[in-house]
Amino acid sequence: MRVLVTGGAGYIGSHTCVALTEKGFEPVVFDNFCNASPEAIRRVEGIVGRNIPVIEGDVRNRRALLDAIESHGIEAVIHFAALKSVGESVAHPLSYFDNNITGTITLLDAMQGASVHRLVFSSSATVYGQAERVPATEDSALSVTNPYGRTKLVMEQLIGDLCTAQPAFGAMILRYFNPVGAHPSGRIGEDPKGIPNNLMPYIAQVAVGRRDRLGIFGNDWPTADGTGVRDFIHVMDLAHAHVAALRGLDQHKGATVLNIGTGKGTSVLELVRAFESASGRQVPYAFAERRPGDVAELWADPTRAEQVLGWRAEHGIERMCEDTWRWQSAYPEGYA
């Protein structure tokens, strides 16, 4: 099956291209490279030993999408392309609405025009907002605390409405918890531009000497050690969830929402310790103010993903740290 992978040059997209190819799917990357390097796809090609077609294009361009779908005989789409920085979305909400929501509407329209009806969509645990209880199930109350989260919630709803209106459409809406780690080869990984917003890349850059110390946002949360607790999931486990979701689309019509996490919570301090032990490096840190909008703890109930897809996460926190370190230590400056 040929699969259009929007945002396929990005962090999760590039790892998913590896998993897809290894499982016999043919990914075609569609990316405007606003937050990615073409080098990522060259490395993916090196890992899988095959060429991967790459189209430089924007998901807000319907004509470019239709050309890509038609010229490559596309049968399914995985839609990663989005802007994802919470802070930037607060400062520039309109560009987030345009890129993420307009981009998704344009993609759905092109898919409808080309009679491509299978979609796997990148959603996020951010749609649980200030979750009332953990673990979060797919039926937990939804709320958003920033424009990025709002775009994810709106996109989920748009896709749901389209699947209701057009029964031929099937969508797997995957709510990722906290993706971390890298391909075990260490050749591809997460390469944030500028100062990392997320915890794992920040820790990795401190360990490799690019930054002096980690700021831990709060040590007075109502958790066992006072630091925030999250459900970190290895990016290769996440990549395999996309393969399972594509396979599941033919049995499950309509829009299916699934949590993609491990079901285990790990605190910020536990992740720091695990990284120190995986890397053999010290990760100096200092406690700082809580970050606005953060929640004390959030982890997934991943039961439904296992029931629906037969998928579950396999890797623990040690492996996530080892693989991140292999990538970060081999390429301290990322793809630069």
**Site of interaction with ligand NAD (CB under 6 A):** 6-7, 9-13, 31-36, 58-60, 80-84, 99, 103, 122, 124, 176, 179, 198
Nearer to ligand UDP, 119 or 142 (CB): 142
Q: Say which entry of ligand NAD, ligand UDP, none residue 268 contacts (CB below 5 to 8 A, set by partner kind).
A: ligand UDP
Which is closer to ligand NAD, CB of 196 or CB of 248? 196
Distance CA 270, CA 291 (A): 19
Can you say how many angstroms the Cα of residue 52 is from the centroid of all Cα atoms in its chain?
A: 20
Count Cβ atoms within 10 A of the Cβ of residue 319 and give its class: 0-12 exposed, 13-18 middle, 19 or more buried: middle
Contact 302, 233 (CB under 8 A): no
Residue nearest to ligand UDP (CB): 228
The string of DSSP letters for 87-138 reads HHHHH-HHHHIIIIIIHHHHHHHHHHHTT--EEEEEEEGGGG-S-SSSSBPT
Minimum gap (Å) between residue 211 Cβ and ligand UDP = 10
The angle formed by the CA atoms of residues 15, 117 and 159, to the nearest 5 degrees, is 80
CB burial of residue 109 (10 Å; 0-12, 13-18, 19+): middle
- Rounded to a whole number of angstroms, the minimum distance from the CB of residue 205 to ligand UDP is 10
176 included as an active-site residue: no
Q: How far is the CB of 137 from ligand UDP (least distance, A)?
A: 18
Q: Of 141 and 168, which has the nearer Cβ to ligand UDP?
A: 141
| CA dist., res. 125 & res. 135, Å (int) | 11
Cβ 300 vs Cβ 241: under 8 Å: no
List contacts with ligand UDP (CB under 6 A): 178, 197-199, 202, 214-217, 228, 230, 268, 291, 294
Locate 228 and state its tokens. 């925030």
Which among 221, 208, 197, 246 is positioned nearest to 88, based on CA atoms? 197
Q: Residues 150, 148, 54, CA angle at the centre, nearest 5°?
A: 120
Q: Could you tell which of ligand NAD, ligand UDP, none binds residue 155, using a CB distance below 5 to 8 A set by kind? A: none
Find the helix packing angle between 103-113 and 62-71, rounded to 10°.
40
The option from ligand UDP, ligand NAD, none interacting with 228 (CB < 5 to 8 A, set by class) reads ligand UDP
Q: Which residue is nearest to ligand NAD (CB)?
A: 10
CB of 41 to ligand UDP, least distance (A): 25
From the candidates 96, 128, 148, 331, which is the catalytic residue? 148
Looking at the Cβ atoms of 30 and 202, the one nearer to ligand UDP is 202
Taking the least distance from each CB to ligand NAD, the nearer of 122 and 259 is: 122
Write down how long the chain is: 336
Neighbours of 280 (CB within 10 A): 9
CA distances from 4 to 53, 205, 315 (A): 10, 32, 27
Q: Residue 300: which of ligand UDP, ligand NAD, none does it interact with, CB under 5 to 8 A by kind?
A: none
Q: How far is the CB of 128 from ligand UDP (least distance, A)?
A: 11
96 makes contact, choosing from ligand NAD, ligand UDP, none, with CB < 5 to 8 Å by partner type, with none
CB of 107 to ligand NAD, least distance (A): 9
Q: Binds 35, which of ligand NAD, ligand UDP, none (CB < 5 to 8 A, cut-off by type)?
A: ligand NAD
Q: What residues act catalytically?
A: 148
